[in-house]
Amino acid sequence: MELHSSFSSSSSSSSPPAMSPESCCVKVAVNVRPLIGDELAQGCRECVSFSPVTPQVQMGTHSFTFDHVYGSKGSPSSL
């Protein structure tokens, strides 16, 4: 199998079109699910908290910021 590649350099002085931040950035969301029956029966407690005002999740002393946070009371279809 032979692979060929070509590269052409253009001396054009025009710049590539500017992209808006919305068109080139990755958006990250987190969905905090509720505990299931087995977890509740074992005495598990939720270890993640979040603010309905800011897209942040707290785990102990650590805080993580996302573009969107969906709470444990919502349904996956609301995403």
Q: What is the pLDDT of residues 13-68, one digit of tens each?
A: 566 666 666 667 899 999 988 899 999 999 999 888 888 788 999 988 999 999 99
Is 44 inside any structural domain?
A: yes
Task: Report residue 73's pLDDT band, with 50, 70 and 90 as the boundaries.
Answer: low
Q: Is residue 5 part of a domain?
A: no
Whether the CB-CB separation of 29 and 66 falls below 8 Å is answered with yes
Domain containing residue 29 = 21-72
pLDDT at 2 over 70: no
Domain count, the chain: 1
Q: Does any domain span residue 32?
A: yes
Residues 6+ apart with CB under 8 A from 71: 32, 50, 52
Helix and strand numbers, DSSP H then E, in the chain:
2, 5
Place of tokens 């029966």: 41
Q: Which two tokens stand for residue 21?
A: 């931040």
Residue 68 within a domain = yes
In a domain, 29, yes or no: yes
Domain-located, residue 9: no
In a domain, 6, yes or no: no
